[in-house]
Amino acid sequence: MHGLGAQIVRGELGPGSPVPTEDELVSQFDVGRSALREGVKVLAGKGLLESRTSAGTRVRPRESWNLLDPDVLRWRYAPAASRADVRILADLRVAMEPGAARLAAEAASAAQRAAVAAALAGMWAAADEPAAFVEADLAFHRAVFAAAGNDLLLYVHDVVSVALGAIRPLHTRSAGHYRRTLPAHQRVATAIQHGHHRQAEMAMREIVEGARDDARRESGGDDARRESGGDDARRESDGDDARRESDGNDARRETRGGAS
């Protein structure tokens, strides 16, 4: 199941592709036929395969997959993920986590606020140990989701946690970088402690958007540079527009002054 599932999720067997014959799979995975058939049934239940009498067993299109199935996530993100998948997960964090921080500031109990503070302390303690810091970072973000008081939101976070853990080391293995992220995490925790929901949301957005930039640089430096170059060009253009508008305003003021 795991071997064939990974081949499908990683694109080695594309949508619509026929699955190798039973004899070929028995030989490839060195399993009995009953185990093989059971594995195919499980993969069908996850939306990856479909079996038809006339067409045999084929790979289903990606939109049919159970994308939040823990096995599907594991095959997709561990031990390595594609550039596109890294970006998709980074975008999911941007969509989810600022809102979770806001809810935590609005709804957290005293015990949940204490758990967020304790998780932050764990991050400070692990700042010089990249592997330990990744674990502490994951624990902090889960504490924020738990403090949001929304069981569906926490469930989604926990389901994708295998993928979150896989991409965290992509951001950087520099202890110096980890230390630079701590003030923003501190701002999230402080805002939650004081019930300042807007500040909590803004501080978490700073964290996850920075993480998304890190992931883009690590997984596709050229794309990030092109995007950065485009941003620079837009900023330069905006600056020119602003200067032209300012010059026009000055000219109009001067004209009005002369007329008066």
Residue spans per domain, the chain: 2-64, 82-222
Residue 238: pLDDT over 90 = no
Mean pLDDT over 98-114 rounds to 98
Closest CA to 87 of 227, 177, 207, 213: 213
Mean pLDDT over 158-180 rounds to 77
Mean pLDDT over 34-59 rounds to 93
Tokens 């140990």 map to which residue?
A: 129
DSSP class of residue 51 equals E
Q: How far apart (Å, rounded) are the C-alpha atoms in residues 250 and 255?
A: 9
Average pLDDT of every residue of the chain: 85
> What local confidence, expressed as pLDDT, does residue 173 receive?
58
CATH of 82-222, one of 1.20.120.530, 1.10.10.10, 3.30.70.20, 3.10.530.10: 1.20.120.530
Mean pLDDT over 91-112 rounds to 97
Cα Rg for the chain, rounded, in angstroms?
25
Residue 70: pLDDT over 70 = yes
Summarize pLDDT for 189-202 with one digit per residue, the tens.
999 999 999 999 99
Which percentage of the chain shows pLDDT scores above 70?
Answer: 81
- Residue 142: both structure tokens together: 């889960």
CATH class name, domain 2-64: mainly alpha
Mean pLDDT over 149-172 rounds to 85
